[in-house]
Amino acid sequence: MKIMSAIVVTFFSANLAGCGWFGLKDRSNDYLLSEETEPTVIPRELSTRSVGQIYPIPAIEVSQEQLVSFEVPRPQPASVNTFEQLVKIQSFDERRWVLINISPSELWPRLRNVLNRNGVPSAMAQGSSGLIETVWVTFSSDDDNSHRFRFNIAPGVQLESTEIAIIHSQAVRGAEDTSEWPVISDSDQRELDMLTLIANDLAGVNNFASVSLLAQDIGGVAKVEIISTEIADPFIRIKLGFDRSWASVVYSLERGGFSTIDKNRSEGIFFVNYTEPSSTEVGFFGRLFGGGSDEDVITANYRVLVEAEAANVEIKIVDGQGDSLGRTEALKLLAILRSNLS
């Protein structure tokens, strides 16, 4: 009986090895026997245009100066808000908005989910312009009026951030069809209540994994960009008014390693000091014999120029005497300043 079983096992093993499972031929090496074939010809009546890239990679501008060999600089310090989830309500010039340090494409699906969950579904959602308008809703505290909200989602000044501004509109019940959106909210308190609701909900979420791939450009282009051309000194362009831009620069200088010595707002000038962080700390004996004294006088070695240009604001950095810097040094300092703008 044992001999018979061994013969059966041997027979099936040979069968499986030679012909494959259930007699199917093993074709794993057939590609070695393949022959060259004629290329595929598309009929003339059909289009030969390719589908193209689904996720195109934008071209990177390369200048001759960037191709010159140079010493690799130290890594730039990260923004103070890079490693923390930040959700807060900001206000400036009688405006307020929710600031969150995630991209608009990450925020978009989350915000729509928040509105639906709170019983305020969207009547219109337009990703290209970053607009969401809610349906008319009623509140138990107001028996006479209906209410709706418009959300304006736009890229923030801070890197990888989003700003959410809200307009509140109300109309007498039954007259909603003739109501138009106001320039400012009909009720400042209703606007603040909705902003607080949105901010609290977003602050309670730790994972923003959901991303809207169909809305990569929500709210339009970024408000801040570094411009570098071959015929002019590099600068930061901020697509905001002078007052808001000045306040953002003040905030960045306080957190980006700069020391502000003096400033003149009417002239748009900051006199600042910036020193490369040392790779070694002053030791005990160094401090004992005068190294790293707190009594060293700090002088301004750079100037930050803030100038209004049409509807935008341009920010440049020059040396302490007002002369232009080398392109590499200017771009390095502008990157540090830009990383902490808010």
Per-residue pLDDT reduced to its tens digit, 46-89:
776 666 666 777 777 655 555 555 566 565 555 545 545 578 88
pLDDT at 167 over 80: yes
* Cβ count near 161 (within 10 Å): 22
How does pLDDT run across 94-150, given as a tens digit for each residue?
A: 888 888 888 888 888 888 888 888 888 888 888 778 899 999 988 888 889 999 999
Decide: residue 219, CB within 10 A, 0-12 exposed, 13-18 middle, 19+ buried. Answer: buried
Q: What is the pTM of this model?
A: 0.62
Which domains can be identified in the chain, with CATH numbers? 87-215 (3.30.530.50), 224-278+297-339 (3.30.310.170)
Contact of 310 with 326, CB cutoff 8 Å: no
CB count in 10 Å sphere of residue 337: 24
Tell me the pLDDT band of 271, cut-offs 50, 70 and 90: very high
The residue among 257, 231, 282, 244 whose CA lies nearest residue 77 is 257
Nearest of 294, 302, 314, 243 to residue 270 by alpha carbon: 302
Which of the four pLDDT bands, split at 50, 70 and 90, describes residue 191?
very high
- Between 78 and 240, whose confidence is greater? 240
What's the mean pLDDT in 213-237? 76
CA–CA distances in Å: residue 182 to residues 96, 151, 175, 197: 16, 13, 15, 22
Report how far residue 133's alpha carbon sits from residue 162's, in angstroms, rounded to the nearest whole number. 18
Closest C-alpha among 309, 299, 308, 306 to residue 317? 306
H or E element, residue 238: strand 235-238
Cα 226 to Cα 208: distance, rounded to the nearest angstrom:
28
**Using CA of residue 29, residue 34, residue 39, residue 40, what is the dihedral sign?**
negative
Confidence band for 151, pLDDT divided at 50, 70 and 90: very high
Edge to edge, what strands does the sheet with 312-319 contain? 224-227, 235-238, 312-319, 302-309, 269-273, 259-264
- Predicted pLDDT of residue 210: 54
Asked which of 67-71, 258-262, 271-275, 307-311 is least confident by mean pLDDT, the reply is 67-71
pLDDT at 292 over 70: no
